[in-house]
């Protein structure tokens, strides 16, 4: 536990991003695509119809996930449990070559690998769920 708190404290003390990537919300939401990304990090999700969807996380350093149009990633009815997603539910930040999942509201839980999570550094294969019965995503790193 002490190691986790120490990491969190170090992260908060050095908030400046290490990369020169866009942190402003895009003018258009980042779109899910049907083709598997070949480089960088991405989220993988299964649609209600069984279609696999991929969300490339290249060329951005902060991604806001929710249901409102001002989010970088706008979730819609193609995903099971989207009703569980808050207007601005969570964000993903790239920090020191790692992706960190950050819940944005206390009443909008985020689960990583089946456990309720606060700010969490993601590893390849981590399962993210928004809300107790909301959409699930796999965090992936292309190799």
Chain centroid, CA 117 distance in Å = 13
Residue 8 phi, psi (nearest 5): -60, -45
CATH top class, domain 2-141: mainly beta
Q: Of 25, 19, 68, 8, which Cα lies nearest the Cα of 41?
A: 19
Residue 53, pLDDT > 90, answer yes
Give the rounded distance of the alpha carbon of 125 from its chain centre.
Answer: 13
Q: Is residue 121 scored above 90 in pLDDT?
A: yes
What pLDDT, on the 0 to 100 scale, is given for residue 143? 66
What does the buried/exposed string (b/e) look like for 85-120 if buried means 16 or more CB atoms within 10 Å of the residue's CB? bbebbbbbbbbeeebbbbbbeeebbbbbeeeebebb
What per-residue confidence (pLDDT) applies to 29?
82
DSSP helix/strand/coil, 14: coil
* pTM recorded for the entire structure: 0.81
pLDDT of residue 27: 61
CA–CA separation, 130 and 51 (whole Å): 19
pLDDT band at 40 (very low <50, low <70, confident <90, very high): very high
> Closest Cα partner for 111 from 83, 142, 89?
89
Once rounded to an integer, what is the mean pLDDT over residues 11-39? 66
In 3D space, the residue among 28, 104, 117 whose CA is nearest the CA of residue 64 turns out to be 104
């Amino acid at each position: 536990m002490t190691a986790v708190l120490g990491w969190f404290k170090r992260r908060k003390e050095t908030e400046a991003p290490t990369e020169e990537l866009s942190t402003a919300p895009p003018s258009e939401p980042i779109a899910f695509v049907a083709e598997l990304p070949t480089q960088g990090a991405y989220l993988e999700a299964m649609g209600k119809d069984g279609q696999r969807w991929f969300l490339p996380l290249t060329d951005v350093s902060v991604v806001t996930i929710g249901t409102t149009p001002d989010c970088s990633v706008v979730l819609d009815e193609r995903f099971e449990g989207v009703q569980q997603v808050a207007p601005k539910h969570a964000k993903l930040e790239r920090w020191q070559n790692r992706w960190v999942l950050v819940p944005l509201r206390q009443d909008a839980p985020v689960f990583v690998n089946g456990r309720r999570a606060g700010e969490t550094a993601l590893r390849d294969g981590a399962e993210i769920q928004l809300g107790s019965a909301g959409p699930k995503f796999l965090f992936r790193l292309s190799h």
